[in-house]
Amino acid sequence: MSMHLNRLILRAAALALAAAAAMAAWPAAAQDNYPNRPIKLVVPYGAGGGTDQIARLMAEKLQQRLGQPVVVDNKPGAGTVIGSEYVSKQPADGYTLLLTTSGLTSAPVMMAKVPFDPVKSFTPIAPLAIMLISLTASNDVPASTVPELIAYMKAHPGKLNYASYGVATTNNLAMTLFNQRAGVQSTHVPYKAGAQALPDLVSGQVQLMFDSMQTSGPLIKAGKLKTLALATSARSPLMPDVPTVAEAGLPGFAFEPWFGLFGPAGLPAPIVNRLNKEIDSVLKEPEVLQAMRIQYLTPMPGSADKMRDLVRKDLAYWAAAAKVAGVQPE
């Protein structure tokens, strides 16, 4: 082999190594500069609902801190599956994020085929808040307490309808569990968002819904709806005079869903850490704390690991609840 050929081979090898080094350095540089363009915050619920409200609050605050537009993109449908699947298939670069609820963990329990894995398909970023859930009723329902409701439903099986945010959502599973535990029957009417269900609940077209006080609270306060009980494990300091479903007649009944922020699987740790740090700061702002109190939310700052643990805990909880309720995936 000639010396000239050797030099050509060595030069080619050096160029290849340089190119490989540059390619390896590029993702790190991109992470260091994150974010340098707009971020899409996907909400798997319709506009106007409780998840949309907190998403827009978080988007505004993150935009101020990150220096880039944060745009809310509502993708409702199929019990949060449409929006969640969309995010799971996006590049893991931090520019498409998912702000969702415990519905992420109930979908695999309620649906026979889900196009993502709640643990493997997403990168947990941060928990945001705990919702206060009310067993909310139309004023037409002739009951003011859980025992009165159960007595009426037993006397009139199947007469009452209940609303949910969709077939695979947690409030559907919660009402299914309530029916089973109380030994009563009611008919499911799914909606794409709580904001769409509430007008029908007010008018009496549907009569019951396990709903976030974030959305039904103002209507309850205005006397257009009524709360029969809260689904918390203990009485809430936000509504200390309202009993829990458990103490009102169904011991052990609890439904305490959360809001959380996720990215696609494989989201780099520096991006996760940056977003978690900013979320932690946002959740300490007096303006945000006040906004959450008004919306009956309890802020829940925490690590990405805490969010991961919540997902695993909820998957086990909803699987057990579905077994007790006799729910078969559809």
Q: Could you tell me which residues come within 8 angstroms of residue 13 by beta carbon, excluding any fewer than 6 positions away?
A: none
Tell me the per-residue pLDDT of 225-258, one tens digit each, with 9 for 90 and over.
999 999 999 999 999 999 999 998 899 898 889 9
Quote the distance between the C-alpha of residue 104 and its chain's center: 6
Which pLDDT does position 24 carry in this prediction?
44
Q: Which residue has the tokens 């991961």?
A: 308
Structural domains in the chain? 36-131+257-325 (3.40.190.150), 133-230 (3.40.190.10)
**What does the alpha-carbon distance between residue 221 and residue 149 come to, in Å, rounded to a whole number?**
20
Which residues in the chain belong to E strands, given as ranges? 39-43, 70-74, 96-101, 122-131, 133-138, 161-164, 187-190, 208-212, 225-230, 258-264, 297-299
Which pLDDT does position 2 carry in this prediction?
52
Strands 208-212 and 225-230, bridge-based pairing: unpaired
| CB atoms near residue 11 (< 10 Å) | 10
Tell me the per-residue pLDDT of 59-85, one tens digit each, with 9 for 90 and over.
999 999 999 999 999 999 887 899 999
Which pLDDT does position 315 carry in this prediction?
92
Apex 193 CA angle, 282 and 126, nearest 5: 25
Which pLDDT does position 169 carry in this prediction?
78
Which pLDDT does position 5 carry in this prediction?
43
The CA-to-CA distance between both ends of the chain, in Å, stands at: 69
Which pLDDT does position 195 carry in this prediction?
75
Give the chain's residues under pLDDT 70.
Answer: 1-31, 168
Decide: 150 and 245 in contact? Cβ < 8 Å.
Answer: no
